[in-house]
């Protein structure tokens, strides 16, 4: 029997602009994603037998072929023309909230890809794992390495950026949320392409200036999500000293940027949300422990 334990880190979209729509219906993005030290925990166990079995700690996640962990494993096997010939058991402990825009499912999928590559000695390099990841979802390739990265196209074109240091993120997720398809539909009705100022954001990022970064964060979905709860959390964060506050992804989690950990903790506690916490940037998406 072989086993592997992995932490799959969540992400925040520090900058998210929609710059166009392709003929196949997918939207072209320009987004900067940042992994943080909030993570799901996965254990992969290889034993005698056949099939894939997934166990989880949340009742609202599928435990069959619809789970992104399952899809990640199958993507490796399909890409490498490989059949495992054994039983694979996965124990999944979800800590990243769902419908938050924090990439929990995508991170778990990337964890499965890395686990299969390591446990079965498939020998895929980073680019090959990203190619397999792109078969599963737009955000999944980013999590293969994580850190701070510019993601373009539908998320598959990845450029590593200057890591963020000395930053605290207060994060809170309102109970209300909208689905990703609904968020895109609202944007298509009311939004305009390429409305963000990426040059200002990149300058703030390069300068490692939290105050400038707080002013430069941007999310094209934010104006059209139509969730008062999101606006309330943003306002509370700013009132408690955030240098900037924004929704991540298609929501509904909100993050605030802080220089001071205690201020961030107070803001998270004052958010009025059941899920809240303070996190720091990480330089990787997946950690084998």
pLDDT-based confidence at residue 284 (cuts at 50, 70, 90): very high
Kind of pairing between the strands at 27-47 and 254-258? unpaired
pTM of the full structure: 0.95
pLDDT for position 215: 96
- Kindly list the catalytic residues: 11, 139
Alpha-carbon span 197 to 264, nearest angstrom: 26
pLDDT, tens digit, 9 for 90 and up, residues 198-249: 999 999 999 988 999 999 999 999 877 778 999 999 999 999 999 999 999 9
pLDDT for position 223: 78
Q: How many CB atoms are located within 10 Å of the residue 79 CB?
A: 19
pLDDT-based confidence at residue 26 (cuts at 50, 70, 90): confident
266 CB-side CA count, 13 A: 11
Q: Dihedral, CA atoms, 130, 225, 175, 13, nearest 10 degrees? A: 30
Of residues 141 and 155, the one with the higher pLDDT is 141
> Cα dist. 270→99, 173, 235, 275 in Å?
21, 12, 11, 11
Distance of CA 96 to the CA centre of its chain: 9
pLDDT for position 155: 85
**With 90 as the cut, is the pLDDT of residue 24 above it?**
no
pLDDT for position 282: 97
pLDDT-based confidence at residue 151 (cuts at 50, 70, 90): very high
Alpha-carbon span 39 to 143, nearest angstrom: 12
pLDDT, tens digit, 9 for 90 and up, residues 37-75: 999 999 999 999 999 999 999 988 999 999 999 999 999
Alpha-carbon span 172 to 255, nearest angstrom: 7
Mean pLDDT of 19-39: 92
pLDDT, tens digit, 9 for 90 and up, residues 252-280: 999 999 999 999 999 999 999 999 999 99
pLDDT, tens digit, 9 for 90 and up, residues 155-212: 889 999 989 988 999 999 999 887 888 888 888 888 889 899 999 999 999 998 899 9
pLDDT for position 184: 86
In 48-130, beta strands by DSSP E: 51-56, 87-93
């Amino acid at each position: 029997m072989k086993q592997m334990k992995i932490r799959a880190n969540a992400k925040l979209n520090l900058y998210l602009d929609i710059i166009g729509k392709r003929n196949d219906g997918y939207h072209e993005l320009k987004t900067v994603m940042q992994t943080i030290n909030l993570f799901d925990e996965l254990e992969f166990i290889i034993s005698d037998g056949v099939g894939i079995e997934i166990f989880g700690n949340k009742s609202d996640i599928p435990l069959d072929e619809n789970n992104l962990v399952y899809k990640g494993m199958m993507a490796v096997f399909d890409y490498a023309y490989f059949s495992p010939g054994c039983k694979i058991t996965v124990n999944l402990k979800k800590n990243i909230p769902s419908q938050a825009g924090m990439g929990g499912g995508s991170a778990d999928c990337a964890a499965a890809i890395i686990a299969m590559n390591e446990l079965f000695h498939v020998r895929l390099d980073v680019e090959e794992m990203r190619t397999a990841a792109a078969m599963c979802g737009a955000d999944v390739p980013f999590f293969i390495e994580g850190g701070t990265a510019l993601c373009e196209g539908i998320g598959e074109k990845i450029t590593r950026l200057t890591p963020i240091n000395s930053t605290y993120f207060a994060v809170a997720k309102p109970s209300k949320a909208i689905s990703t398809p609904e968020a895109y539909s609202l944007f298509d009705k009311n939004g305009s392409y390429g409305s963000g100022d990426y040059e200002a954001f990149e300058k703030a990022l390069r300068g490692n200036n939290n105050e400038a970064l707080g002013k430069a964060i941007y999310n094209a979905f934010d104006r059209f999500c139509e969730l008062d709860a999101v606006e309330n959390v943003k306002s509370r964060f700013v009132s408690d000293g955030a240098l900037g506050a924004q929704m991540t992804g298609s929501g509904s989690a909100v993050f605030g940027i802080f220089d001071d950990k205690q201020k961030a903790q107070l803001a998270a506690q004052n958010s009025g949300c059941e899920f809240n916490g303070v996190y720091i940037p990480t330089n990787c998406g997946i950690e084998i422990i």
